[in-house]
C-alpha cells in the first residue's frame, strides 16, 4: 500500500492522515479524494482544519449548499472530514456534526447496442478503441481500464484479472473472443510503436512507463461520441452501464451481472432493471389485461 503524494507541501497533520488512510487500507483514489476535500475545507477556514469547531463545520456545509455544490460532492466531503476528525484527530463529536444529504440516484444514461458500436468505431485510434472496448465488453470502471497490465489478460481462461478494484477487491471480468482479438490488434500496434513493455501497462500513457490517465479516456469517449453523432451525455462509465443493461436484456442472471461488475450489494445492480427496455416491454400493462378480459366477455356479433 502506498501513500498518495502531491506537489503541495506536506504538513504534519496531512502526513498523519495519510498514514491513517494507509493503515486502514483505503485505495489510492479514495486517498486522493479525501486529501482534496480536506484541502478545500482548510481553504474555506483559512486556517488549519484541526482548529475547526462545530460552528465552522456548519458554516462550511451551508456554504456548499449556497454555492450549489452537488449532493455527491457534499457527501464526499462528509466522508473525508469524518475520517479526518474521527480517525486522525479523535474528535468524534465533530465528525457527528457533519450532515449527509439524502437524494435519489438518477437513472444512468445507457447506449443502445448500435450506439455502442458506433462509439467504438469512432474512437480516436486503435489504443482507445481497445480501451473503450474493455469498458463496454467487460464492464470495467474507467480506473480499472487505465490500470490494466498486459499480464492481466488471460487468454487461456478467457478472463481479465482486475486487481485492487473499487473497495480494494480483486475479481475476474469476462473476456469475449471479439474483445480478445481487439486487444491483440492493439498489442501488435503497441509493439510496433515500442510502447508495450514486458509485464507493463496494457494502455500506456504519454510516457509508456505510466498508465493512460482517466482524463484521457474521458476525452476519447467524448471525441468519439461527437464524431459518431451521439447526442447523449456519455462518459467511460456510460459504457459500463450499457454493458450491464445489455446483459440484463439478454436474460443474464442479475446475480451473475453483480459479480461481473464487482458490486458488493445486489440492490446496486438492480438499478439496471429500471433502464432495461426489454424488461419494461416484457411487462403486460393492466390496460392490456383489462382489454383482453372485456373482449372475452363481449357477446358474439
**Catalytic sites, residue numbers:** 141, 166, 237, 240, 263, 272
Grid coordinates representing 171? 475479481
Burial of residue 241, with CB atoms counted within 10 A of its CB: 0-12 exposed, 13-18 middle, 19 or more buried: buried
Residues contacting residue 29 through CB under 8 Å, at least 6 positions apart: 143
DSSP 93-148: HHHHT--PPP-PPPPPP---HHHHHHHHHTSSSHHHHHHHHHHHHS---HHHHHT-
Give the separation between CA 20 and CA 155, rounded to whole angstroms. Answer: 39
| CA distances, 100 to each of 72, 81, 163 (Å) | 9, 12, 31
Give the separation between CA 8 and CA 39, rounded to whole angstroms. Answer: 10
Amino acid at each position: 500500500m502506498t501513500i498518495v503524494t502531491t506537489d503541495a507541501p506536506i504538513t504534519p497533520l496531512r502526513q498523519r492522515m495519510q498514514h491513517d488512510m494507509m493503515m486502514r487500507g483505503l485505495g489510492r483514489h479514495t486517498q486522493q479524494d479525501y486529501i482534496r476535500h480536506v484541502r478545500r475545507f482548510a481553504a474555506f477556514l483559512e486556517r488549519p482544519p484541526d482548529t475547526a469547531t462545530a460552528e465552522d463545520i456548519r458554516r462550511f456545509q451551508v456554504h456548499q449548499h449556497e454555492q450549489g455544490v452537488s449532493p455527491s460532492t457534499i457527501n464526499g466531503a462528509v466522508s473525508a472530514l469524518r475520517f479526518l476528525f474521527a480517525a486522525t484527530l479523535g474528535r468524534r463529536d465533530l465528525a457527528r456534526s457533519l450532515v449527509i444529504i439524502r437524494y435519489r440516484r438518477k437513472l444512468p444514461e445507457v447506449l443502445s447496442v448500435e450506439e455502442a458500436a458506433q462509439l467504438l468505431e469512432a474512437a480516436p485510434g486503435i489504443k482507445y478503441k481497445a480501451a473503450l472496448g474493455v469498458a463496454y465488453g467487460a464492464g470495467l470502471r474507467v480506473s480499472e481500464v487505465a490500470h490494466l497490465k498486459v499480464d492481466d489478460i488471460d487468454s487461456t481462461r478467457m478472463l481479465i484479472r482486475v486487481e485492487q478494484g473499487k473497495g480494494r477487491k480483486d475479481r475476474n471480468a469476462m473476456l469475449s473472443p471479439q474483445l480478445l482479438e481487439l486487444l491483440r490488434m492493439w498489442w501488435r500496434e503497441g509493439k510496433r510503436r515500442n510502447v508495450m513493455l514486458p509485464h507493463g501497462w496494457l494502455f500506456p500513457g504519454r510516457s509508456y512507463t505510466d498508465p493512460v490517465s482517466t482524463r484521457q479516456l474521458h476525452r476519447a469517449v467524448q471525441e468519439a461520441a461527437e464524431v459518431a453523432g451521439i447526442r447523449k451525455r456519455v462518459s467511460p462509465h456510460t459504457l459500463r452501464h450499457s454493458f450491464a443493461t445489455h446483459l440484463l436484456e439478454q436474460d443474464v442472471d442479475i446475480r451473475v451481472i453483480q459479480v461481473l461488475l464487482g458490486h458488493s450489494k445486489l440492490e446496486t445492480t438492480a438499478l439496471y432493471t429500471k433502464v432495461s427496455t426489454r424488461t419494461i416491454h416484457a411487462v403486460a400493462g393492466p390496460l392490456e389485461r383489462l382489454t383482453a378480459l372485456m373482449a372475452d366477455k363481449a357477446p358474439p356479433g
